[in-house]
Structure 1
Amino acid sequence: MHIIKLNAIDSTNTFLRRLSSDKRLEDYTVVTAESQLKGRGQMGTSWSSQPGKNLMASVFVDVSFLTIKYSFWISMVTSLAISKALKDFHISNIKVKWPNDILADQKKISGILIENVIKNNTLQGTIIGFGININQVHFDNLPLATSMQKVSGKHNSIDNVLKKIIENLQFYMNQLKEDNYQSIKTLYETELFRKEKPSTFKNEEGALFSGFIKGVSNSGHLKVLVEDDILKEFDLKEVKLLY
């Protein structure tokens, strides 16, 4: 693992993508930043953090062994790597809110942004960006945010958390290389927030509906059992889980 530590950067994902375009990167090259000026999240959202309090990182992984149709497994593996790391540090009540927000006590503790490198319609590599709230305890105007320190009451080493995440990421990626797809998917579905519980969703038109999360498809669509016992699949743009 090769680690590049920066003080301030626009986005660790953007930096690593520029780096990958200039030269061939060593597998599991990691970029971390004390401060991100333009941190990005899913669907164009931003990710803000107090400098020096949290982990903001991106890692390059060679995923040329995967086909594009299995690209969502990268998200599953990353979610599992982070959730297991948090549990290893005795953070309780960890769940994955589809597709890959990590919750502790039903509040967001980590976010993930995955940007795949595709050439000639084949996966070459992936840039996995993730932010984890570690030692920040005040979140202005963010009532649904939390951190490791808020949950556990303990100060944690940012470097130790990063080391554990990369170890877990390598472990689960190796599971994929060994074709253990179903075990990864089963484990991911076990971690899903509000699985098998009555939940409220909002569709693209803004209408609310109720249903039960049953799991995910191989392509990453959320499987929801709606009225009349109909099982429907939704992609990220089609539905939002409201709790």
Structure 2
Amino acid sequence: MKLIKLDAIDSTNDFLKALSSRDELANFTVVTAENQTKGKGQMGSKWESESGKNLIMSVLVKDFIPENEQVFNLSLIVSLSVIQVLKSLNIPDLSIKWPNDIMSYNKKIGGILIENTIKSDGRIVSVVGLGLNVNQTNFDELPHASSLAVILGNTLEKEILPELIIEKIKEKIDSWSVSASIFWDDYFHSLFRKGIPMPFKNLDLNAGVQNFMGIIQGVSSIGKLQVLLEDDSVSEFDIKEVQMLY
């Protein structure tokens, strides 16, 4: 694993994307930063992190996604890999809030942002960004957030995490062809609030009903959230169409 350590950067994802466009980087090249000034989350949201306290990393993944319809497979693999590493650290009550937020109890402790680029030869190259709250303890402005240190009651050596996570990602990619159905089952069973009635907000401005009740049933093969509605129909939503209210 090639590791590039930075003190501060605007975005590790942007840095790695720019680097990969100029150089023939090795697969699973990792960039970490102590501070990130323009961290990104899903749908353009900001990822806030105290300098030096948390894991901020991006990893280059090549030669795994063969076509656009399968891009969610990588999101699934990365989410499960992070969950597996955190379980080994005795983090309790872990779940994945669709599509790929990492939760402990009902608190967000990590987020994943995957950006895909289609090369001129048709190959899909991915940059996987991961933010994981490790040793930050002040979340006064973020009531739905927590960290490994808060949950465990002690600080951790965050430097050990990138290698552990990349090792699990590699293992799952290597065994995907024979274990895909098992990984999908693991992802379904790990879904936050799956099977529990909960409110949602419809983000589609053309929709008549903005807030509605539903029950998460699962996720489609292309990553859409499947929700059982009050009329017993099941609707599918992408990340830009719906928001969980909890």
TM above 0.5, one fold?
yes
TM-score scaled by length of structure 2: 0.94
Query: Counterpart of 1:185?
Result: 184
SS in 2 for 1:228: coil
- 8 Å Cα contact 2:64/2:173 also seen in 1: no
- 8 Å Cα contact 1:68/1:122 also seen in 2: no
SS in 2 for 1:156: coil
Query: Counterpart of 1:235?
Result: 238
Query: Counterpart of 1:85?
Result: 85
Looking at structure 2, the residues matched to 52 and 154 of structure 1 have their Cα atoms a distance apart, in angstroms, of 16
Query: Counterpart of 1:203?
Result: 202
SS in 2 for 1:229: coil
Looking at structure 1, the residues matched to 157 and 123 of structure 2 have their Cα atoms a distance apart, in angstroms, of 34
AA aligned to 1:227 is E
Gaps of 5+ in 1: none
Shift of 1:179: 4.4
Instruction: Deviation per CA, 1:173-212: give whole Å up to 9, x if none.
Output: 1222x24322211111110001011111010247111111
Query: Counterpart of 2:218?
Result: 215
Shift of 1:29: 0.2
- 8 Å Cα contact 1:116/1:123 also seen in 2: no
After TM superposition, the structure 1 stretch with the greater mean CA deviation from structure 2, 152-161 or 201-210, is 201-210
Instruction: Deviation per CA, 1:127-154: give whole Å up to 9, x if none.
Output: 0000000011112311111000000112
Looking at structure 2, the residues matched to 64 and 104 of structure 1 have their Cα atoms a distance apart, in angstroms, of 29
Instruction: Deviation per CA, 1:89-125: give whole Å up to 9, x if none.
Output: 1100111000011111211100111001212584432
Looking at structure 1, the residues matched to 24 and 59 of structure 2 have their Cα atoms a distance apart, in angstroms, of 14
SS in 2 for 1:75: helix
- 8 Å Cα contact 2:118/2:125 also seen in 1: yes
- 8 Å Cα contact 2:67/2:124 also seen in 1: no
TM-score scaled by length of structure 1: 0.96
Query: Counterpart of 2:73?
Result: 73
- 8 Å Cα contact 1:16/1:31 also seen in 2: yes
Query: Counterpart of 1:226?
Result: 229
Looking at structure 1, the residues matched to 121 and 65 of structure 2 have their Cα atoms a distance apart, in angstroms, of 13
> What's the Cα RMSD here?
1.4
Structure 2 counterparts to residues 63-142 of structure 1, below 5 A: 63-64=63-64, 66-120=66-120, 122-142=122-142
AA aligned to 1:203 is N
- 8 Å Cα contact 2:119/2:125 also seen in 1: no
Instruction: Deviation per CA, 1:147-167: give whole Å up to 9, x if none.
Output: 000001121111112221111
- 8 Å Cα contact 2:39/2:46 also seen in 1: yes
- 8 Å Cα contact 2:65/2:74 also seen in 1: no
SS in 2 for 1:140: coil
Which of structure 1's runs of 4+ aligned residues deviate more than 2 A? 63-67, 119-124, 178-181
SS in 2 for 1:163: helix
Query: Counterpart of 2:174?
Result: 174
Looking at structure 2, the residues matched to 180 and 103 of structure 1 have their Cα atoms a distance apart, in angstroms, of 24
Query: Quick one: percent identity of the two aligned structures?
Result: 44
Gaps of 5+ in 2: none
Q: Aligned residues, how many?
A: 242
- 8 Å Cα contact 2:30/2:60 also seen in 1: yes
Call closer, same or farther: CA 1:23–1:163 in 2, change over 3 Å.
same
Shift of 1:9: 0.4
SS in 1 for 2:231: helix
